[in-house]
Amino acid sequence: MFREGLLLAQKFLNLNNLRTYIYVTRFVVCRQFNRPFSLVHLEPKDIGGQQIRMSTPNFLLSNGKNMPMIGLGTWRSPPEVVTQAVKDAIDIGYRHFDCAHIYGNEAQVGAALREKINEGLVTRDNLFITSKLWNTYHKPELVRSACETSMRNLGVDYLDLYLMHWPMAYKSGDNLYPTCPDTNKAVSEDIDYLDTWRAMENLVDEGLCHAIGVSNFNEQQITRLLSFAKLKPVVLQIECHPYLSQKSLITLCYDNAIAVTAYSCLGSGHTPYEKPGAYPLLQHPTILAIAEKYERTPAQVLLRYQTQSGIIVIPRSVSKQHMMDNFKRIWDFELAADDAKSIHDLDCNGRFMTMKAAYGHPHHPFEPVHSK
């Protein structure tokens, strides 16, 4: 493991950057001692000839690219409001946007990106854009066209990160939720996610994506993928919050230089799925007491809890004030160890996103059986 870290460090040192040397050295040490390798720094951006210092740190990914540690999630953001939300987010300082074909709003996100680029406020290179391959496009021959559809809708000529949204393949086609009328369950297709991954690797080779990763994979699936992949996943995106800490899975990722992005990091209180825990997460007495102690909102406490552990967060909001609060006031304080432990102790293996409609699929990651 340490030798692997040194080889990766040597690759990064080709950048001839002292700051990068420091971060990569930290990476090697953290890998050796099985610790999170949250490598972050503030990097000035050149916009219109002026150096503008961003107020959010970046995570140095294993491919040498920087990923902002907070992004704007766009799941369940209505198309009619998401364009303005993304424009507001860019004005605030967000440069990381988490998207997916299944969200049905990538064209509206793309309209906002184009407008802000045309205004000269940002350039494409200032942005970090993630999209995801949906379950009905797992056939290897469909992967490239699915990626190009997201790129076209977003108005970009490459993606910074493309994730396999789920390990399960649904029946191929444009019906995004093929359902059996007798059982109300998703109609699956016999496609191994390893074959899908091989097609995704080609996207990097062809320059359509800078990096690829996965979402909603369990430990066994990550391990199996690592044993097969020519290009290892750079990021795993998972549901992660105090009710679902995912410690073992995150440790596996850290051991293999995979960054972790947390969705539902504020608890997804408005989702129509499961409702774990005795309280909505943002209303839990422990969170409220810690928020009062630090003079922060409960949301800011939850975001800081994740980011100070090296976890990237993508809270969803269409409220400009909430986006501002989430972005600006989580970097100037740190939770004490006892407060972080109190939050960690809320773990009850409580999952909001269970994807029960796909129960029975051989690659379902959360069904109470061992997925392969």
Q: Are 228 and 197 in contact (CB under 8 A)?
A: yes
Spell out a b/e string for 7-34, using b for 16 or more CB atoms within 10 Å of the CB, else e.
Answer: ebbeebeeeeeeebeebbbbbbebbeee
Size of the chain, expressed as the number of residues it contains: 372
Is 21 known to be catalytic? no
Q: Looking up tokens 């507001």, which residue turns up?
A: 88
Q: Give, in order, the Cα–Cα distances in Å from 258 to each of 222, 231, 236.
A: 10, 12, 7
* Gap between the Cα atoms of 71 and 95, Å rounded: 7
43-47-52-54 Cα dihedral, nearest 10 degrees: -50
Helix (H, G, I), strand (E, B) or coil at 35: coil
Catalytically annotated residue among 23, 103, 193, 254: 103
Instruction: Find the DSSP H helices in the chain.
Output: 2-13, 18-32, 79-92, 106-119, 140-154, 193-205, 219-228, 247-255, 285-294, 298-307, 320-328, 337-344
Catalytic residues: 103
